[in-house]
Amino acid sequence: MAVAGGLSFVRISAGNRHTCASTATGSIYCWGSGFGGRLGNGEWSNRLTPVLVLPPPS
């Protein structure tokens, strides 16, 4: 388990300049370079801390 920005992650995937990870509940968070919408949150801004991209499935 890895911890970033106060969140605990069970799976992590790293790209060239961004990282995405999932929690035990299935939420997806991403951080790093937002260029080209890489973070999946609809923005192009960089994020130093995890931003929620996909909430847990209901």
Divide the 58 residues of the chain into consecutive groups of 10 and give the mean pLDDT of each group. 77 94 94 93 92 90
pLDDT at 57: 86
pLDDT at 4: 63
pLDDT at 6: 80
Rounded to whole angstroms, the Cα distance separating 32 from 37 reads 11
In DSSP notation, the chain reads -EEETTEEESEEEE-SSEEEEE-TTS-EEEEE--GGGTTSSS----EEEEEEEEPPP-
Q: Is the dihedral of CA 32, 47, 27, 6 positive or negative?
A: positive
